Structure 1
Amino acid sequence: MATVGGFLRVGEVYRYASSRDQHSPTLDGCPNYYYVTHSPGKKLALLEAGINGMAEVAGRRPAILIRSSPWKAGTEDTPWHDVFDLDHGHVRYFGDHKVTSTKPVGRTTGNAALLEAFVDHQGRTPEARVAAIPLLLFRSVSRNGKNKGHVEFCGLGIIERAERLVQRGGGEHTSFVNYVYDIALIDLCEEEDQVSWDWVDARRDENVTDQEALALAPRAWQEWVRRGNSALPRLRRQVARAKIVKVRDQRPQTSIDKAELDWVYKRFDGHKHAFEALASAVAARVLGAGGQNYREGWLTSRSGDGGTDFVGRLEIGSGLAGTSLVVLGQAKCVKPTSLISAEQIARVVARLRRGWIGVYVTTAAYSEKAQQEIVEDQYPIVLISGMELLRELRRMARDDFGDDLPACVEHQLSEREMAVTHRRPEEILLQ
């Protein structure tokens, strides 16, 4: 088998130009998508639709290329909101059934392709999984003020779950049924976080057997074929992070970062419950990453909160194989140049009971001493610094508000009503 393809690297932004030039390695300072995915004598690997299934070759579909367009999310035509959590190896992607679709649910081009892949991905034996369809995931990114023309490669995926749900769309906000897919992004460490296009080329060659093509697949994919979905927890992509983050690495690195974080601080300085509501929303996204089931509860009253500003609940597993955890949240809107001390965090930790966890959200940074104590004492608490808060708000703004950060923030305050109450935290387990 001749090797002719390039490599798709996770996190790399590629120029997806209308010229469809396959000969230039780079365009406008970015790697050229069509050059990297060039297959001599084969049709182009297009990303024109959200779900792009390659044509079958000898009964085998080489790959499905998925593209998410965050700038379309929340519109009448595309009311869904895809979730890409690359650090924890999880994507929640909505199918292509729309309020205007005339075909039965599951029969639209994109859903039909993904449901076909889902069946393959649930194969019970290596022989059933060897021909399984790889999912290559991309998302559109903005460059030079334009939403089109650039895509970021997000990884190689396997569908874990496919379920139907009801959505609303169109000018009349009509309800309709669509599919949503939970996709595991697999680890590519052995391949330096990239996928070789030679593997896809081999799957497009009718003279190459499934086993021969599998030899070119990433190691984790080969392991999944051998072991099945029970191996996914250890094959899932995970981005390792240091236990202790230096203060300088928690601070804004650019003038834009500093200006936006300062804006968040000034917007909420002196507005305690407003910042608590925002912190609760951000904590929900962070704790709900990777497909976890997190539910927001309420804000605590101004007096007597005892180190708790908001309450939530984290579900782990289901039925007899599941449990619920109380989440106590602390929100602290202070100058971004400030430091949160070990003593301040200890106030939240002191409220935690067995089986509870804490989350601390601030516009500032955490002292290294405070982090050290958490590591040494193994406190079950999640720390969200000012820059992490800003990153999450930017993701929310990108996904739902066309990168308009103020509009995203104001939406959280005007559209999300959270009760302020004296209720005991454990009452969240009864809801």
Structure 2
Amino acid sequence: MSRVVPYGDLSSCTLIVDGIYESALDCQLSGERINKLLPGSGNMGEGRIAGRGQDRNWVVLYTKEHDLDCPDTLDPSTGLFTYYGDNKRPGRELHDTQMGGNALLRHAFDRVHADQHPRVGVPPFFVFRKHPTEHGARSVQFRGLAVPGFPGLSATEDLLGIWKSAEGQRFQNYRAHFTILDVPVVEGLWLDDLAAGGSMTEHAPHAWREWLTKGHYLPLTAEPTTTIRSVAQQTVDSKLEADILAAVWGHFNATPHAFEAFAARIYQMTDTRVVVDEITRGVVDGGRDAVGRYSLGLMSDPVHAEFSLEAKCYRLSVVGEGSPVTVGVKDVARLISRIRHRQFGVLVTTSVVSKQAYEEVREDRHPIIFISGRDIAEILIKKGYNSRSRVESLLNNEFGNSGGKDG
């Protein structure tokens, strides 16, 4: 479990990765914790800048991770943190924001790729996320020390201006890629140095020194201890996700064969290198609802790994309406039997994969990708289909009116 530091405990000023720092119980802004840990950061906003002019002491990136239009994400296995800027209202220029967050992002990434003295003047970025507890609704969790850019990403890839829409109006925002550095603990002595205007002191973490002086990224990577997700982890856990998945189920439940093309589209949404070659006909599919390729290597000279996809439009898990129809061992065995040498399988379901089926696949090392009902909802939200009406519009426009009934 993560370490929880009570609000009144100010004896330690260190920042511990994934440590939870509780706010005051009264929910007032004065009891917000980030400004106590990093004085001068302020207590409002998603991008909080300490320091004046171009010389910044540090920047706090505060993420709620549930923004429907701009969902920040952290991949613990690689250390890649994707952050969206602070222009989230139509009618404003990309850099014309109240807190100046997007202008700071532009400056920081420009300095990373500068021809002369690269990275000089780039402040450290401290990533926190909202993490309410029973003792403090404004409690936060420290996610790590971040720097702009990521290994392998070029100057045209790590900071992108993208268009979004809200209530029919468009706005432009930044999508920035950061690396969480391998710094498990940020010592208070370095925080004091930063407050005094110095980042390259004797107390600076090794990973920060390597990046600032040499441009070497030393990411904090964390391999998962298990690859078997429980039924609960595959089940939607918010009203929005439940509404979106219900829209999908309601569209296809009367004609499950029509779900196959949608399932293939969902898998395509996960990676631009996925190519779907054919949606097979139900009478001759041989256990495969779709077939395709995944491109590896150079785009100009790719190597392809072929896959077979199977779609299962099974009854959802709805509170108070009985248990879901789970994907079982027989369902998975059917897909495994169709996978040839050097191929992999993809199973997409509106429901969940049973514990036994999941365990057998992982323990026997079968190359099967599982996409459950919760995954479907999360993929759609990430791609901008972040309301039931938007999902229904996608289904009706691209997959026809199947005439299914909700539930």
Into which bin does the TM-score normalised by the smaller protein fall? 0.5 to 0.7
Supply the distance in 2 between the matched residues of 1:137 and 1:353 (Cα, whole angstroms).
44
Supply the distance in 2 between the matched residues of 1:296 and 1:65 (Cα, whole angstroms).
41
Find out whether 1:7 has 2:18 as its counterpart. no
Supply the distance in 1 between the matched residues of 2:383 and 2:282 (Cα, whole angstroms).
32
Map 1:24-423 onto structure 2 (within 5 A): 32-35=33-36, 37-39=37-39, 43=40, 45-46=41-42, 48-56=44-52, 60-69=55-64, 72-74=67-69, 80-97=70-87, 99-102=90-93, 109-122=100-113, 132-140=122-130, 149=138, 152-158=141-147, 159-160=149-150, 161-169=157-165, 173-174=169-170, 178-188=173-183, 191=184, 195-196=186-187, 198-206=189-197, 208=198, 210-214=200-204, 217=205, 220-222=207-209, 224=211, 228-229=215-216, 231-232=217-218, 235-243=219-227, 245=228, 250-252=230-232, 267=250, 269-273=253-257, 275-276=259-260, 279-280=263-264, 283-284=267-268, 287-288=270-271, 293-294=273-274, 299-311=279-291, 314-320=294-300, 323-334=303-314, 336=324, 338=326, 340-341=328-329, 344-352=331-339, 356-362=343-349, 363-366=351-354, 368=356, 371-372=359-360, 375-376=363-364, 378-384=365-371, 386=372, 389-390=373-374, 393=377, 410=392, 413-414=395-396, 417=399
Query: Is contact 2:94-2:173 (8 Å) kept?
Result: no
Residue 210 of structure 1: CA displacement? Answer: 0.9
Determine which structure has the larger helix proportion and give its number: 1
Query: Is contact 1:274-1:413 (8 Å) kept?
Result: no
Query: Is contact 2:276-2:292 (8 Å) kept?
Result: yes
Supply the distance in 2 between the matched residues of 1:312 and 1:106 (Cα, whole angstroms).
44
Q: 1:315 to 1:112 in 2, by over 3 A?
A: farther
Q: Which runs of 5+ in 1 are unaligned?
A: 23-31, 75-79, 421-431
Could you tell me the percent identity over the aligned residues? 20
- Tell me which amino acid in the other structure corresponds to 1:67: Y
TM-score (norm 2): 0.66
Supply the distance in 2 between the matched residues of 1:48 and 1:317 (Cα, whole angstroms).
44
Find out whether 1:21 has 2:31 as its counterpart. yes
Instruction: Give the structure 1 partner of residue 4 of structure 2.
Output: none
Structure 2 residue matching 1:200: 3-state secondary structure? helix
Supply the distance in 1 between the matched residues of 2:99 and 2:301 (Cα, whole angstroms).
35
Query: Is contact 1:155-1:185 (8 Å) kept?
Result: yes
Query: Is contact 2:235-2:352 (8 Å) kept?
Result: no
TM-score (norm 1): 0.63
Instruction: Give the structure 2 partner of residue 423 of structure 1.
Output: none
Structure 1 residue matching 2:332: 3-state secondary structure? helix
Aligned pairs, number: 366
Q: 1:327 to 1:224 in 2, by over 3 A?
A: farther
Q: 1:99 to 1:317 in 2, by over 3 A?
A: farther
Q: Deviation digits for residues 315-338 of structure 1, max 9, x if unmatched?
A: 445445754544432222446464
Residue 55 of structure 1: CA displacement? Answer: 1.4
Residue 138 of structure 1: CA displacement? Answer: 3.6
Q: 1:213 to 1:83 in 2, by over 3 A?
A: same
Query: Is contact 2:328-2:357 (8 Å) kept?
Result: no
- Tell me which amino acid in the other structure corresponds to 1:109: G
Structure 2 residue matching 1:55: 3-state secondary structure? strand
Residue 195 of structure 1: CA displacement? Answer: 4.4
Residue 51 of structure 1: CA displacement? Answer: 2.8
- Tell me which amino acid in the other structure corresponds to 1:364: V
Supply the distance in 2 between the matched residues of 1:254 and 1:371 (Cα, whole angstroms).
14
Task: Name the Cα RMSD after superposition.
Answer: 5.0
Structure 1 residue matching 2:282: 3-state secondary structure? coil
- Tell me which amino acid in the other structure corresponds to 1:46: G
